[in-house]
Amino acid sequence: MRTIGLIGGMSWESSAEYYRLLNELVRERLGGLHSARCVLHSVDFAEIEEFQRAGEWERAGDVLAAAAKGLEAAGADLVLICTNTMHKVADQVAAAVSVPLLHLGDATAGAVRARGIRRVGLLGTAFTMEQDFYRDRLRSHGLEVVTPDADDRALVHRVIYEELCLGVVRDESRAAYQEVISRLVEEGGAEGVILGCTEIELLIRQEHSPVPVFPTTRLHAEAAVTAALA
């Protein structure tokens, strides 16, 4: 079994989900007392969030690249950035290490295509929904990507940073997200919806959507376990 390196802490709420999923998936596949070989570098999210707000992505990338180097030195055979938004600096992180970086967007796009879906809605932080780094990665796999309108994007972003990243899960916010998803389907023609922020899975599950949802944390963890056991 290869060792999985995790760049986490963005937020630690979703990083805890990564750890749980990796170990559950390894146990499911190998049985018995097996668990995942992994090392975790958990950053201080407040520092990263300041860089995000200021648009200082290269400085944020420096922090994550240093984390990746530490994971490789600790024995990681592959590296995961445990957040969709910070895949904006994925190339910078990948260039810092000699082991593979398993891109979350690739794992997600593969799952979408496997369901025969081509037009997909994208929920995430404002950075993920509005900038090209993530949408273009999905489009490179032949997907059409639709995002909510400006008001809905602001709502989705606010709930992520002011609630989910703090471990707050509110029924009112779930209902609001369900309305956003309905509009993506009815007005945007989305055949499925990517939960393109690792915290959204704390709020939305398949039963909350009329179309297939793609939980990126789980999909990333599944891809990592497959690579680790290959």
43-77 pLDDT per residue, tens:
999 999 999 999 999 999 999 999 999 999 999 99
- pTM of model > 0.75: yes
Q: Which residues are catalytic?
A: 83, 197
pLDDT-derived band of residue 90, with 50, 70 and 90 as boundaries? very high
The predicted-structure confidence for 13-35, as pLDDT tens digits, reads as follows 999 999 999 999 999 999 999 99
CB-based contacts of 168-176 (< 8 A; 24+ apart in sequence): 169/202, 169/203, 173/203, 174/203, 174/204, 174/208
Q: What is the pLDDT of residue 179?
A: 97
| Phi, psi values for residue 134, rounded to 5° | -90, -45
β-bridge pairing 144-146 and 78-81: unpaired
**Percent of the chain residues topping a pLDDT of 70:** 100
The predicted-structure confidence for 105-156, as pLDDT tens digits, reads as follows 999 999 999 999 999 999 999 999 999 999 999 999 999 999 999 999 999 9
Amino acid occupying residue 16: A
